[in-house]
Amino acid sequence: METLPTYGSIQGADMTLQTKKGNSFDTASLLIGLLRAANIPARYVYGTIQVPADRAMNWVGGVTKPEAAKQLMGQGGIPNIGLTSGGQIKFIKLEHVWVEAFVDYVPSRGAVNNKPNTWVPMDASYKQYTYTQGMDIKGQVPLDAQALIIQAQTGATVDSAGWVQNINGAAIQTALTTYQCSGLIYTDTSIGRKSTIRGVLNDKATKKIRHQLQTGCNGQVITDTSIGCFAANC
């Protein structure tokens, strides 16, 4: 699911599930809905977190500079501050929304949920990605623009003011079809099979991490405030 570390616009749990994307508030809404459907009390938490700069850069899209990550967050309406050390941004502090679930944490650490006793923070919006560079089709299969212009002008009328009449549409179509075929041959040959959009364009995959339920958020929690609890036994 595509997520962004912002709490601005809210589309709700159902739309988040349908579109498989949303901001941190949307993702929290969906997680709370799923937990409550399983009879597990859950609530929103709003606060300030501190994320290592490298993880923040990966989170927002794989940018290479902390300043770029801060700028993207700012454009999304996310208040954030860069914390520097040695003249470099080491952490990014930002306002965030996540979830707390009331589970049987002591002593089972969430393995069973016989007698809930602890509010445990959960953050489904925070992810780390593996990015894959797409193909350089433009560089490997260049389009000869000048040759295309000459073909288009074949049989056409071009006056001194730059007006063109009776442009050769058939020649243009032939040139573009030839270029399209060259591109397909290149991509299929490079991938070793029939090419797909994922294989051609830049792609990313969510890193999957398996671990026991544990307290803590994606970064260091600076402040937090529970802002809603509407399930039984909260």
How far is 28 from 11, CA to CA, in rounded Å? 11
Residue 221 backbone phi and psi in degrees, to 5:
-85, 120
30 closest CA partner among 94, 99, 111, 77? 99
Identity of the residue numbered 20 = K
Helix runs in 38-89, H state only? 53-59, 66-75
CB distance 16 to 30 below 8 Å: yes
pLDDT at 228: 45
pLDDT at 216: 41
Q: Residues in the chain with pLDDT < 50?
A: 7, 211-218, 227-234
pLDDT at 175: 87
45 closest CA partner among 20, 24, 72, 59? 24
232 closest CA partner among 37, 29, 55, 50? 37
What is the residue-wise DSSP string for 200-223? Answer: HS-EEEEPP------S--SSEEEE
How far is 195 from 38, CA to CA, in rounded Å? 41
Bond from prior residue into 107 cis (ω within 30 degrees of 0): yes
In the chain, domain spans: 2-130+205-229, 137-200
pLDDT at 233: 36
pLDDT at 229: 40
pLDDT at 185: 80
pLDDT at 231: 38
